[in-house]
Amino acid sequence: MKKFDVIVVGSGAGLEVASFAAEKGMSVAIVEEGPLGGTCLNRGCIPSKMLIHSADVVETIKSSEKFGIKSRIENIDFASIVKRVSEMVDTDSSGIEKAIRESGNPTLYKMHGKFIGPKKMQVGSEQIEADKVFIVGGTRPSIPSLPGLETTPYLDSTKALRLEKQPEHLVIIGGGYIAAELAHFYGALGTKITILVRGEKILKEEDEEIADWITREFSKKYQILFNAEAETVSYQDSKFTIKLKGDGNKIIADQLLVAAGRIPNTDILDIKATGVEMDDKGFIKVNQYLETNVEGVWAFGDILGILPFRHTANDQVGFAIRDAFTDKKVPFDPFAIGHAVFSSPQVGGVGKTEQELKKMGIKYKVGKAELKDTGMGGALQENGLAKVLVDEQNNILGVHIIGPDASILIHEAIVAMKANGKIGAITNSVYIHPALSEWLQRAFFAIE
C-alpha cells in the first residue's frame, strides 16, 4: 500500500489543500474520477453562467423597442453557443490536469476511488493511505425513481449544459435554482418551456415574497404546472411522453430535463468504510473546524450540505488548511454567506428568510422597496423587490432581492452583515443618485 502525507478526494476547492500541502513538502495524492476542476468548472456555475449570458443578451435585444430602438434577431446559432462554452471549460480543465501531472507532486489518480478504511482508498488496482485525508467529493444530480425514466435519453443538469441541438419543447421536472436558470437559458433562446412543480411556487426555499414574485414572472413566460408530478415517462420516435399523476394528462416534448435536486457522493465513495458519520441524507457531519468524527479526516464543500455553493467551499478551504496544518484552529462560520439565482429576473439572498424568522419565533422588522419607485427603475423600465429583515436592535437578519443585477446588489448587504451587522452601514452611507444601488438603500430606509 502506497503511503502519502495527504489524500484529497475531489479536484474542485480541494485543489487548494493539495497545492498548499505540496508546497510545504508533503507528499499528496489527488483522487478525481472526472475532469479536473470539480463541479463548478465542468458542470456547474462556470458553464451555466456563460450560457446564461447569451440568454441575457437575447432578452436585451428583444426588449429594445420599449426604449425606442427597433431591432430583430436574425439567427441564434445554438450549437456554436454551447461549443464555445464547452471548449473554454475543457481547455481550463485540461490545463489544470497538465499542470498537476507536470509537477510530479501531487500525484493524480484520475480514476474512481472508494474508501476501504478510515484513511485508506482503493484507486483502480492500487491501494493508498495517508495521515491526513480531505473529503471534498461533492454531489451529483438526484434522479427520482420514476417508471420508464431510466430507459429514456433524459437530461440532467450536466447533460443540459452540453446539448448540441436546441429543443423545440423542453419539459423540466423540478422548481429549484437549476430549473429556474436552465429554463431562462433555453426559454430566452426560443425553446418552449413546461415546468412541473410539486408545490405551488418555484424557488420555494427563497423568502416567501421573493418566491411569489418570481413565480408570477415565470408564469408569464413559461407554462408552469403546479402541484404536478410525473407518474411515468416513455420515449418513442424522438419524443418524450410524460404522464401526470392524478388526472392522467400527458405532455409530449422532444426533451426532458430532470432537475430534482442533488445528492452527496458519499455512497459511491463508500464513506461508511471510513467510520465517518453522516446524516440521514448521506451528507458528512463535521464540527466547527470541519473535522469529522475520525481523527485526521476533514470534509468540506457540497458534500456537507451546508450552503452548497462554490464560494462556500472557497471560504471553507482556508479554515480547513489552518485547522489541519497549523496550531491556530479557527472555526468556520457560515454567517452571511449569500447566494444568487441567475434567472430572469435574478434573485439574490443572504441570511434568514421571513418564514424562517417566524418559525424560530424571532421578533423582526421589515423594510421593502420596489425598483419602479426609483430613478434607475424608470431608466431601466423594469421592476423588482428589495426586502430587508432586521431585529429590534437594528441588526441585519436577512436581505432578499429580485430584479436586475440582484446577484451584484446582494453583496452590499453581505459586506454590511460581515462588517458590523448594523443597518447604519447602509443608511449612513451616501449613495450615488440615481444608481441602481439606491434601490437597496431605500428598502433599509423603509424599515418600520
pLDDT > 70 fraction of the chain, expressed in percent and rounded: 100
Which string of DSSP letters, residue by residue, matches 31-80? E-SS-TTHHHHHHSHHHHHHHHHHHHHHHHHHTGGGGT---------HHH
Q: Quick one: pLDDT at residue 360?
A: 97
- Asked whether the bond before 106 is cis by omega within 30 degrees of 0, the reply is yes
Q: Is the pLDDT of residue 328 over 90?
A: no
For residues 167 and 156, membership in a common domain is answered with yes
Among 214, 243, 260, the domain boundary falls at 260
For residues 64 and 208, membership in a common domain is answered with no
Distance CA 388, CA 394 (A): 11
Identify whether 41 is part of a domain.
yes
For residues 251 and 287, membership in a common domain is answered with no
> What's the gap between Cα 362 and its chain centre?
28
Identify whether 336 is part of a domain.
no
Q: Is the pLDDT of residue 303 over 90?
A: yes
Q: Quick one: pLDDT at residue 205?
A: 96
Q: Is 432 helix (H, G, I), strand (E, B) or coil?
A: coil
- Mean pLDDT of all residues belonging to the chain: 96
For residues 16 and 118, membership in a common domain is answered with yes
Among 241, 260, 279, the domain boundary falls at 260
Residue 424: pLDDT band (50, 70, 90) is: very high
Residue 231: pLDDT band (50, 70, 90) is: very high
Q: Quick one: pLDDT at residue 244?
A: 97
Distance CA 99, CA 36 (A): 11
Residue 282: pLDDT band (50, 70, 90) is: very high
For residues 309 and 423, membership in a common domain is answered with no
Distance CA 360, CA 445 (A): 25
Identify whether 98 is part of a domain.
yes
For 180, the domain range is: 149-260
Identify whether 362 is part of a domain.
yes
Cell numbers at 430, concatenated: 451616501
DSSP H helices, 161-263, are 177-188, 208-221
pLDDT digits (tens, 9 = 90+) for 112-137: 999 999 999 999 999 999 999 999 99
For residues 57 and 111, membership in a common domain is answered with yes
Q: Is the pLDDT of residue 375 over 90?
A: yes
Q: Quick one: pLDDT at residue 163?
A: 96
Phi and psi angles of residue 331, each rounded to the nearest 5 degrees, phi first: -75, 140
Pairing of strands 126-135, 2-9: parallel
For residues 271 and 370, membership in a common domain is answered with no
For residues 355 and 388, membership in a common domain is answered with yes
Q: Quick one: pLDDT at residue 230?
A: 96
Identify whether 332 is part of a domain.
no
Identify whether 248 is part of a domain.
yes
Lowest-pLDDT range of 34-48, 181-195, 336-350:
34-48
Cell numbers at 275, concatenated: 467510520
Q: Is 117 helix (H, G, I), strand (E, B) or coil?
A: strand
Distance CA 295, CA 144 (A): 35
Identify whether 182 is part of a domain.
yes
Distance CA 275, CA 48 (A): 36
Edge-to-edge, what's the strand order for the sheet holding 250-253? 230-236, 239-244, 250-253
For residues 135 and 277, membership in a common domain is answered with yes
For residues 391 and 306, membership in a common domain is answered with no
Q: Quick one: pLDDT at residue 448?
A: 87
pLDDT digits (tens, 9 = 90+) for 84-116: 999 999 999 999 999 999 999 999 999 999 999
8 Å CB contact between 13 and 139? no
The domain that holds 396 is classified in CATH as: 3.30.390.30
Q: Is the pLDDT of residue 8 over 90?
A: yes
Q: Is the pLDDT of residue 247 over 90?
A: no
Across the range 367-390, mean pLDDT stands at 97
Q: What is the total count of domains within the chain?
A: 3
Q: Quick one: pLDDT at residue 280?
A: 97
8 Å CB contact between 327 and 297? no
> Out of 184, 311, 400, 433, which one is annotated catalytic?
433
Among 260, 290, 307, the domain boundary falls at 260
For residues 158 and 225, membership in a common domain is answered with yes
Distance CA 42, CA 92 (A): 9
Catalytic residue list contains 311: no
Q: Is the pLDDT of residue 57 over 90?
A: yes
For residues 297 and 279, membership in a common domain is answered with yes
The domain that holds 237 is classified in CATH as: 3.50.50.60
Task: Tell whether pTM > 0.85.
Answer: yes
Q: Quick one: pLDDT at residue 255?
A: 98
Residues β-bridged to residue 223: 194
Identify whether 337 is part of a domain.
no
